[in-house]
Amino acid sequence: MIFTPSAMMLKLLYTRGSLRNTPEGVAFSIKNRLDTVRITRIEYVELDDVRIGTEQIALDLGNGDVRPASVFNAERAGFTLPVGQSATFHLAAKPLPEGLHTIRVRFAAEPFGELTVEVEDAIAARPESRTRIPRSETDDYSEAAIRARQQFAEEFTGEQFEHLKHYSFDAHTLQGNCEHFTGVAQIPVGLAGPLHVNGEHAQGQFLIPLATTEGTLVASYNRGIQLLNLCGGVKCTVIGDAMQRAPVFVFDDARGARDFGRWVEEAIDQIRPEAESTSRIAKLQYIDTYLAGKFAYLRFNYSTGDAAGQNMVGRATFAACSWILEHYPGAPIRHFYLESNFATDKKASQVNVMRTRGKRVVAEAVIKRDILQQRMRVKPEQLAYHGQVSNVGAFLSGANNNGAHSANGITALFIATGQDVANVSESSAGVLYSEITPEGDLYISITIPSLIVATHGGGTGLATQNEYLRLLGCTGRGTVNKLAEIVAGVVLAGELSLGAAISSSDWVSSHEQYGRNR
C-alpha cells in the first residue's frame, strides 16, 4: 500500500540551508524522507516566482552522476531515489542576493504521481575561510581519505597519534554508521560468567562480554553471576515490546485538539495500514493520545522485530501522519512536527517507565540464605532492609532507578555488542524489589521498563560488535528477545554484587584493592 504525502509533508523533503550560489548559478538539495521512489520527470523550478526551464536544470545524484533535466525527461528512463539519498538541483540562473527566497519544485515520482515542493530558504553570508575536516566526494572511506584526516588531526593539534590508526576491518563497512572516519577507540573487554539464564528465549549458559575501563566492574558482575548460578540461575521474562515516535498536532484551541484525539482513536484501522506500508517489519500496535492546551500529542507504538527501530518507526509515523494531514475532516491543523519530545528518545522519562520503550523485561531469582551468607557475607534481611533505605534515597533524589548501578552492565554490554550507547538514557531505568521468602531466603527482581536493544541494524553488523553478538548466540532472525533476557540477567547479577558489597562494607576496600590505576 502506498501513502500519499501531503503538502505539509512535502515541505520536509527540502534540505533547509542547502540554497546557495555556485559558479554556474544556484543550487539546492532535496532529500528523500518518504519512501523509495522513482523520479520520472522534472517539470520546472521556480525561484521567487521566476520559472526556470528544464534546459537550465541539472540533477546531481552523487558519485559524479549529473543529469541534465531535458535529457533526463527525453530518455524517460527515470532513476530510483532510495530513502535517505539526496538529489542536488543545479540551476543555470543569476546568483541570488542574501536573504529569504521562495522555491517551488514540480516533478513526477512513482508511485506518488505529480508532486510539488514549495518552501522558503535563505542565502546566507559564508565566511571566506573555514577550517574543514578533509573528506572525499567519491570515496570517503578510502585509505587516502582516512589518512588525510589522520594527518589533519595531527597538524591541527600538534600531536602524533599511533594507536587510533590501527584497526582490522574494511572501513567501507562503516558507511551508514560513522562519518569522517579517522580511527578507532580501543576499549578493553572482559568476560564474565558464564551466566545461567532460565528465559523463554535465552536458555542455558552465556559468556558475558563487558566493554569497560572501570576497575572491578567485570569482577563485580562475575561475582554476582556466580551467586545466581549457585542458586539455579536467573529467570528472565520479556513482558512488553514497543518503540515509539510521538508527533504533535497544533490547533487553534483545546477543543480542536480534543476532537482530533477522538477522531484518531476511531480512525486507527485506517491509519495502521498507512504506517505499515513503509516496512515489512514495523507493526503499529496502538496510539496513545495526550492533550495539553491546543496541542495533541500522539504516541505511536510499534513492534520492530530484531531492530531497535527508531528510524523505522520514524518513517512509518511520517507516512501515517501524511495520511492524517490529508484526511482529517475537523478543525484546521495549524502546525505539525514529526517528533514532539514525547517519545523521549535518548532521555529518561516517567512515561517510558509506565508505558514501555523498547523491551520491558524482568529478571528474578531466589537467593538461598546459606549461599548468600557464605559468598557475600550478608544475610537476606540485611539486603532487604538496605533496599528499603535505598528506596527512600531514590525517591528523594528523583532517580529513574531504585537499584544500585544497572547502567554499568548495560553500557558495557551495549558497547561490546554494537548497540546505540545513548539508549542507556532510557535503558538505565529500573525497579528493584526484594523480600524474604517463608523459607528465609531472598527473592529479588529487577524490572527494566525501557531496554532498547537490537540484533539487527545499527552497529550490530560491524566487525567486533558482531563477533560479541555471536559469542552470545544473538545473531540471526528472532534473537532480540534473547539478548534482552541476557542483559536483564546481567543487570540483576550486578545489583546483587554491589548491593551486598555496600551492605557488608566491602565496597570501598574492593575498589582500593582491585580498581586502582593511578
| Residues classed as catalytic | 214, 420, 511
Q: Give the integer Cα–Cα distance in Å for 94 and 281.
A: 47
Q: Which of 188, 232, 189, 193 has the alpha carbon at shortest distance from 494?
A: 193
Write out the DSSP string of 149-210. HHHHHHHHHT----GGG--SS-GGGGTTT-SS--------EEEEEEEEEEESS-EEEEEEEE
**Omega prior to 111 cis, within 30 of 0:** yes
SS3 21: strand
Q: Give the integer Cα–Cα distance in Å for 106 and 113.
A: 11
Q: Give the integer Cα–Cα distance in Å for 483 and 475.
A: 9
Q: Cell triple for residue 409?
A: 552492565
Q: Give the integer Cα–Cα distance in Å for 475 and 482.
A: 10
Do 483 and 420 touch, CB atoms closer than 8 A? Answer: no
**Exposure string (b/e) for 157-185, b if CB count within 10 Å is 16 or more?**
eeeeeeeeeeeeeebeebeeeeeebbbbe
Which one-letter amino acid corresponds to residue 428?
A: S
Classify burial at 205, counting beta carbons within 10 Å of its beta carbon; exposed 0-12, middle 13-18, buried 19 or more: exposed
Q: Give the integer Cα–Cα distance in Å for 366 and 415.
A: 30
Write out the DSSP string of 445-466. EEEEEEE---SSSTTTTSHHHH
- Own/partner contacts of 342-350, CB < 8 Å, gap of 24 or more, are 342/246, 342/248, 342/290, 342/297, 342/299, 343/244, 343/245, 343/246, 343/299, 344/426, 345/310, 346/422, 346/423, 346/425, 346/426, 347/425, 347/426, 348/400, 348/425, 348/426, 348/428, 348/429, 349/426
Residues in Cβ contact with 302 at an 8 Å cutoff, skipping those fewer than 6 apart: 242, 243, 244, 245, 275, 282, 283, 284, 285, 309, 312, 313, 316
